[in-house]
């Protein structure tokens, strides 16, 4: 683990000492007679508290409680979460939703999902390979293939699972995966499953990717170069034409994850190919999800007819999984129809995100390399500061999630703002004003982190 990812800035030695103290079993005083009568210890059983990482999570929670920071996760929403949402009966301006085009709850889309349930039920009750195939599946896949300028497409029940099963099936031990250092977890898990050699390159650095491929390209195996079309944590873009050239030069397949690009990039929301005005056939594998702009659930792979035909026969996550629910497929298909019919939604989304980005920069906030298309991070440099800032904004009626260590390195802790086409300009201006004000206040009121750690150590020692 890189040194900069130390928990709360503690040294590895200090963190290990604290975790060891917290993990020590509680010892209670017993009489000699009680000790003699004590039963032999039971056979060892699995305890979640002993799992890797559990102690560190416990430490983070203890530190948050000591600092008066409430858990910002798993908040219960009372209805549709779009530009606004209701939590515990209170209305919030919402910056924690993938509902980029504001289509969740659209009457036409909801009606399509309900009609699919009336026709096919709530489940297809089987793998599509055997008896789960429905017309709506193929209609959705054909629409997605058209959006990506591909010959065909296959849709699966989950976005994360799509990447895991694809890489796990497509590659083997003699192959190599070369990927952006900030690639999504699903790609990392798929690469691990495949057994292929996994080599990262610095974020968005196509020249570094070329060097890695030149050194690692297997003589007989395959090489897969993987990037995201729009990076979900930072809101920035790769130089897609440059990565296409690198892939062709080194005889590597090129895969682009479009989860946060479809509906966001390009004048009509068709994603990276439209944004960069490239021939989409230059990309071997287009991957995407249905849960963002298309307000449904699932994942898909688009590419050549030969590739898709092969995947439908061998992908474990497709062959051995139930087919996508009819309502989910119908909702995504209807969302594509609305998106293509109303391209102004994409323009409005990009305008709102660009406004947020500009105001945040003018306020002196660190927004990293975001281009202001739909995702704008505000980097705080500290998990504690990010959590305090999110809590302060929540108290002011703004719902935004902090991204904390270990999801990102400690110095990259942040708040991540998702913009939608339905956010109003006044909402954005008021939100950024509150963000700048609270950020400055929290920076001026630093917490005594060292003192908090000492109190935790003392409390843990008392329990021993």
Element (H, E) at 312: helix 305-314
Q: To the nearest 10°, the Cα dihedral for 359, 363, 365, 371?
A: 20
Nearest to 381 by CA among 397, 402, 360: 402
Is 154 strand, coil or helix?
A: strand
Catalytic residue (choose from 232, 293, 321, 383):
232
206 is catalytic: no
Residues 6+ apart with CB under 8 A from 458: none
Catalytic residue (choose from 206, 260, 275, 423):
260
What's the CA gap between 295 and 122, in Å, rounded? 17
Q: Are 223 and 246 in contact (CB under 8 A)?
A: no
Element (H, E) at 399: strand 398-399
Q: Are 140 and 308 in contact (CB under 8 A)?
A: no
232 is catalytic: yes
* Residue 439 tokens, joined: 């950020």
114 is catalytic: no
| 8-state DSSP, 322 | B
**Pairing mode of beta strands 253-257, 285-289:** parallel
CB-facing half-sphere around the CA of 313: CA atoms within 13 A: 6
Please, what's the b/e burial string for 228-264 (b: 16 or more CB within 10 A of its CB; e: otherwise)?
bbbbbbbbbbbebebbbebbeebebbbbbbbbbbbbb
Catalytic residue (choose from 186, 292, 327, 412):
292
| 8-state DSSP, 152 | E
Catalytic residues: 232, 260, 292
């Amino acid at each position: 683990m890189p040194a900069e990812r130390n928990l709360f800035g503690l040294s590895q030695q200090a963190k290990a000492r604290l975790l060891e103290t917290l993990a020590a079993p509680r010892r209670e005083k017993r009489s000699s007679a009680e000790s003699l009568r004590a039963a032999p210890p039971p056979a060892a059983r699995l305890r979640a508290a002993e799992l890797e990482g559990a102690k560190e999570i416990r430490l983070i929670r203890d530190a948050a409680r000591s600092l008066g920071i409430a858990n910002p996760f798993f908040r219960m929403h009372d209805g549709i979460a779009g530009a606004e949402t209701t939590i515990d009966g209170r209305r919030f301006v919402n910056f924690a939703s993938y509902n980029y085009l504001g289509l969740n709850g659209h009457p036409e889309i909801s009606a399509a999902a309900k009609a699919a349930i009336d026709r096919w039920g709530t489940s297809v009750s089987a793998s599509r390979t055997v008896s789960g195939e429905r017309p709506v599946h193929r209609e959705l896949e054909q629409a997605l293939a058209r959006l990506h300028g591909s010959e065909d497409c296959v849709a699966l029940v989950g976005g994360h699972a799509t990447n895991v099963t694809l890489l796990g099936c497509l590659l083997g031990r003699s192959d190599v995966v070369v990927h952006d250092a900030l690639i999504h977890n699903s790609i990392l898990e798929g690469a691990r499953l495949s057994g292929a050699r996994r080599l990262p390159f610095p974020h968005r650095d196509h020249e570094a990717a070329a060097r890695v491929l030149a050194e690692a390209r297997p003589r007989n195996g395959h090489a897969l170069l993987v990037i995201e079309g729009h990076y979900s944590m930072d809101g920035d873009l790769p130089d897609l034409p440059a990565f296409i050239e690198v892939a062709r030069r080194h005889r590597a397949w090129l895969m682009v994850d479009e989860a946060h690009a479809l509906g966001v990039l390009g004048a009509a929301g068709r994603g990276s190919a439209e944004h960069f005005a490239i021939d989409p056939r230059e990309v071997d594998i287009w991957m995407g999800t249905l849960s963002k702009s298309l307000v449904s659930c699932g994942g898909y792979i688009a590419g050549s007819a030969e590739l898709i035909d092969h995947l439908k026969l061998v992908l474990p996550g497709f062959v051995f999984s139930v087919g996508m629910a009819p309502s989910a497929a119908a909702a995504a298909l209807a969302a594509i129809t609305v998106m293509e019919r109303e391209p102004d939604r994409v323009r409005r989304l990009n305008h709102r995100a660009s406004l947020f980005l500009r105001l945040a920069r003018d306020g002196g906030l660190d927004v990293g390399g975001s281009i202001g298309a739909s995702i704008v991070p505000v980097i705080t440099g500290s998990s504690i500061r990010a959590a305090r800032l999110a809590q302060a904004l929540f108290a002011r009626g703004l719902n935004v999630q902090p991204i904390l260590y270990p999801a990102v390195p400690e110095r990259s802790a942040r708040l991540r703002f998702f913009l939608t086409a339905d956010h109003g300009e006044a909402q954005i201006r008021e939100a950024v004003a509150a963000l700048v004000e609270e950020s400055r206040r929290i920076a001026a009121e630093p917490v005594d982190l060292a003192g908090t750690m000492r109190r935790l150590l003392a409390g843990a020692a008392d329990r021993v």
